[in-house]
Structure formats: structure tokens, C-alpha cells
Amino acid sequence: MIDRISTMPNWKSQVDAAHTIPRELRQSHCYAPDLSALEQIAIPTLFFLESDSPSFFKQTTETLQSHIPNSQVVVLPGQQHSAMLTAPDLFANEIIRFLKQ
């Protein structure tokens, strides 16, 4: 996956921003939102969950989806967290399907 991602046009900017990841992770553990506010979202919402992603992604996705009316989760088989980079056709096809509903 690194070999593939390193050929992407945004690779340099991702590497340049890598030093921000520890700070962002520290802050994400401090964030405790009022999830009931999500119930105000009125537009259709699509969540992606890659089948081979770590379980905490699944837990977060299911929690958010359960609070947003008119939302749905699409599982992308055989993918991990960056399916938009590793399986762009699969990713795009699901977006197109969602938008045509």
C-alpha cells in the first residue's frame, strides 16, 4: 500500500504533515461530543466502512450512523482505511450509487 500511495500527487504533502499526527491523536482522545446534536442532520449521509479496517473504525462508524437519521453504511470488501486510494473505482461507484438514490 505504501508503494502505491507514494506515487500519488499528494504524497509529499502527506509526509510533510506527518508530524501533526501525534498531536491530532492526543486531541481526539479529549473530544467528547454531544452526539444528540447529530440527530439534527437532515441530509442523506453515507458512511464507508472498509471490511479490513481496525475495529475502532467500525465502532465509530456505527455510533455516528446510529445518531444521524437517513444515513447508511456501505462496507467496502477487502479494503482498509484508505479505499479511496487503494480501490478508487469501488469507492467512486458507491458514491455514484448513493447520489442516484
Check residue 32 and give its pLDDT.
63
Tell me the C-alpha distance between 67 and 19, whole Å.
Answer: 33
Per-residue pLDDT of the chain (101 residues; tens, 9 = 90+): 788 788 888 889 889 999 998 888 777 666 667 788 889 999 999 999 988 888 888 888 898 999 999 999 999 999 988 888 888 999 999 999 999 98
Architecture per CATH, domain 2-100, reads as 3-Layer(aba) Sandwich (3.40)
Copy the grid coordinates of residue 28. Answer: 481526539
Check residue 41 and give its pLDDT.
93
Q: Where are the domains of the chain?
A: 2-100
Check residue 60 and give its pLDDT.
86
Cβ neighbour number for residue 76 with a 10 Å cutoff: 19
